[in-house]
Amino acid sequence: MKHLPLLKEAQKSCPAGESCHTELIRYRAYRENYGKSSLTAGAAAQRAWFETFPVYVYDCDRIAGSRRGNWVESVDPLELKRARAIGASFGQLGFWTNSDHFAPGYDRFLREGICGTMARIDESLLVHRMEADKVEFLRAQKEVLAGFSTFVRRHGEAARETAARCDDPALREELTALAADLDYAAWEAPVTFRQALNLVWLVHLSFLFQNKYAMALGRMDQYLYPYYRHDIDAGILTPEDAEDLVACCLIKIVECGFGDIVNICIGGITPEGEEGINELSYGILHAVRDCNVPGPNLSARLHEGMPEHFLDECLQVIGTGLGYPALMNDRVNIPALKRHGYSLEDANNYCFVGCIENFIPGKQPAWSDGRFNVPAFLEAVFYRGTAALDPDVLGLDTGPLEDLVTMEDFLGAFERQIAFAAAEYVTVFNNENGRYNYRHYAQPFMSLFCDDCIARGEDINCGGARYPSVHGACGMGIATVADSLAAVEKVVYLDHACTLTELRDAMKADFRGYETLRARLQNAPKYGNNDDFVDKYAVWYVEFLDRVFGQYRTRDGGVFYTAMASNTQSVSAGHVTGATPDGRHAGVPLSDAASPTYGMDKNGPTSAFLSLCKPDYRRVSCGTVVNQKYTPDMLTDPVKRAALTAAIQVYFSQGGQEVQINCVSRETLKDAMEHPENYADLVVRVSGFSAYFTGLSRDVQEDILHRTEHAEIR
């Protein structure tokens, strides 16, 4: 780990300032291509960026590619203003229009190299030579790929120039070797581990400068493993050296203070169904630990028959406080994807984009998703299509509460509200997603990394991708809903302690003057304690959301996945959601993602796990977030860690989809909230990502603080 500390220190000198080089370069290229199609002009602008963007190589770099070239001290304000106006006229896609959150097909790109990819484009040009639109698109791909080749070569030149100025003989030798690797990878298919890794990083960096974020690095331990194995066998690389190279790459994610949710997947089975965990899986795991920053979002796929020590190693890294990796279950995710028509090999090869979203790398358009606030539709039952706090909620009028004579009546009214809201959600999304002429917003560079765009001569969003686009509707507040439905059944329909009308009045008053009733509601069974009375409603929630959204299709024929996830929106959504029948006060955060309501899972983590694996998560094709919090010694003490390992294995064997863990003590979190100046480097798991704790809003800090903290497995 000689180079990582040097690079960490060097990056502190990265200047702050206005990010505008990219805008100016593209504008100058647009000026030369006025009157041409947006595709041709855009490709020329991208090539110009590749050929003129200021590249920078640190004297301690082992992997080239830096963000600092985009910061400039002075520009012509008139030119910058005009650049932004012209750039805006070309427009760009956004998250809901399949712009980013994509896992490139790095495996094929590395096998073929730039030269092999260029040859495929030429072959496709011959096939489609009589189809003008496809010829234009393929020529645009050639343009940007030629530019990228120059970009790689320019980094080799910069590494050589840095070496000439370097006083340290060891660093100079390293930079000279780096330059040679970049010279080779600028055209030929990579042979060595560093050539392959550097090519991947420069592709990723290129996406960042196209305003594409949360671009996944995918299954690095799979597509980089042949190069790792080649170098190990040839005696030109050690496992420790490979770990350092990976760390020197990943630390660049937070260069210049920039943070990005870059999901990396390790473990799992291979496309052929064989063991996928290898030496590089552990190397990447340790590299993320060594970086100790919240940038790379590491996810570990667990599967039946995997090496026993893999999960233990994962828990040890989580135990540093990072909260990485999130733990994912192949036994749930693969069948969840397979049911949508993906080949078994592609489903086996899934990775993740963004936080936890399941994705077929290099074969489908970029991801999109949105939040679906189910507790708000529960309010709509009580207020006849409206809500207590949020004036934007306008659901169905499902009639007077007096007409809901049985629990089945009440649940039926709730189902009608959800079905109506889902139809509205799909309508809004499809209107937004389908209003664009995607040919005008073609992405020839991204399409290089997606099968079968080159063969078809089509953009990734215009039929080039092997599979259609999918969208994830993220169901929020499953525990808030399950607890509320259990409370309604128990207090209203079984105990007859109040009527629905009286419950509505209590909720509208936020339980002021109804404290006794609120206590009864709070004492009703709660999700997370292995109680079928309430858990059956979580089972219903997962099944019903999948059934409702499963009937709809995206603009190009893809499906609507569901997710049990909320990011940090469980806090903000709670702010606009009135009091709920579980006894929750108005404005208080909803339950987090798929987790039990914090503080309500009173019987220990084993009972929580048993509740959590009752729903059929094979219906949740997008993914799930389950946050758990343990005292630090649960992950540092080998005996306690072994007990936690066993509990997770049982949870996954019974159908649990995901779990992620915080192990920063409550005392540390409280002190960090009081004295943030002492905790600048404190990293915690937030939801589907980790972050510096002191950089989070107070509401989110409080939400993390209030998570149930387990000190033992029982």
Known catalytic membership, residue 357 = yes
What is the widest separation between alpha-carbon atoms in the chain? 84
- 342 pLDDT band, cuts 50/70/90, is very high
305 Cβ contact partners less than 8 Å away, ≥ 6 residues apart? 275
For residues 374 and 478, what is the distance between their CA atoms, to the nearest angstrom? 8
Is the pLDDT assigned to residue 71 strictly greater than 80?
no
Every domain of the chain and the residues it spans: 1-101+133-190, 214-362+626-714, 369-607
Torsion of CA 9, 14, 15, 17, to 10 degrees: -130
The pLDDT value recorded for residue 137 is 98
- Range 428-432 average pLDDT: 96
For residues 119 and 19, what is the distance between their CA atoms, to the nearest angstrom? 35
Residue 315's identity, in one-letter code, is L
The pLDDT value recorded for residue 16 is 59
410 Cβ contact partners less than 8 Å away, ≥ 6 residues apart? 381, 404, 488, 493, 500
pLDDT one-digit tens code per residue, 238-286? 999 999 999 999 999 988 777 788 999 999 999 999 999 999 999 999 9
Contact (CB, 8 A) for 152 and 181: no
For residues 197 and 208, what is the distance between their CA atoms, to the nearest angstrom? 17
The pLDDT value recorded for residue 575 is 94
- Range 454-480 average pLDDT: 98
Single out the residue of 449, 10, 15, 23 nearest to residue 204, CA to CA. Answer: 449
DSSP state of 597: P
pLDDT one-digit tens code per residue, 198-221? 999 999 999 999 999 999 999 999
452: preceding bond cis by omega (within 30 degrees): yes
For residues 59 and 171, what is the distance between their CA atoms, to the nearest angstrom? 7
Contact (CB, 8 A) for 299 and 356: yes
- Range 402-430 average pLDDT: 98
For residues 190 and 192, what is the distance between their CA atoms, to the nearest angstrom? 6
Q: Which residues of 52-87 are buried (b: 16+ CB within 10 A; e: fewer)?
A: bbebbbbbbbbbbbbbbebbeeeeeeeebeebeebb
Known catalytic membership, residue 663 = no
Tally DSSP H helices, then E strands, for the chain: 29, 16
For residues 51 and 39, what is the distance between their CA atoms, to the nearest angstrom? 18
Residue in the structure block whose two tokens are 């009608």: 416
Antiparallel, parallel or unpaired: β 627-630 and 709-710: parallel
700 Cβ contact partners less than 8 Å away, ≥ 6 residues apart? 568, 571, 686
pLDDT one-digit tens code per residue, 2-55? 688 888 777 877 765 556 888 899 999 999 999 999 999 999 999 999 999 999
End-to-end CA distance of the chain: 40
Of these residues, 23, 143, 357, 458, which one is catalytic? 357
DSSP state of 367: P
Of these residues, 355, 450, 453, 663, which one is catalytic? 355
Residues composing the chain: 714
For residues 168 and 674, what is the distance between their CA atoms, to the nearest angstrom? 44
For residues 292 and 669, what is the distance between their CA atoms, to the nearest angstrom? 18
Residue in the structure block whose two tokens are 């989070």: 696
The pLDDT value recorded for residue 699 is 84
Single out the residue of 526, 536, 521 nearest to residue 599, CA to CA. Answer: 526
The pLDDT value recorded for residue 687 is 72
- Range 168-183 average pLDDT: 96
Contact (CB, 8 A) for 280 and 241: no
The pLDDT value recorded for residue 15 is 67
Residue in the structure block whose two tokens are 């708000």: 376
- Range 424-449 average pLDDT: 96
Sign of CA dihedral 384, 385, 390, 391: negative
Give the percent of the chain with pLDDT over 70. 98
For residues 676 and 588, what is the distance between their CA atoms, to the nearest angstrom? 24
The pLDDT value recorded for residue 668 is 85
For residues 544 and 279, what is the distance between their CA atoms, to the nearest angstrom? 42
Q: Which two tokens stand for residue 514?
A: 């109804």
Please state which of the ranges 4-8, 59-63, 127-131, 522-526 shows the lowest mean pLDDT: 4-8
- 686 pLDDT band, cuts 50/70/90, is confident
Is the pLDDT assigned to residue 1 strictly greater than 70?
no
For residues 465 and 459, what is the distance between their CA atoms, to the nearest angstrom? 8
Q: Which two tokens stand for residue 393?
A: 């909620």
- Range 52-75 average pLDDT: 87
Residue in the structure block whose two tokens are 């469980």: 570
Residue 654's identity, in one-letter code, is Q
Average pLDDT, the chain: 94
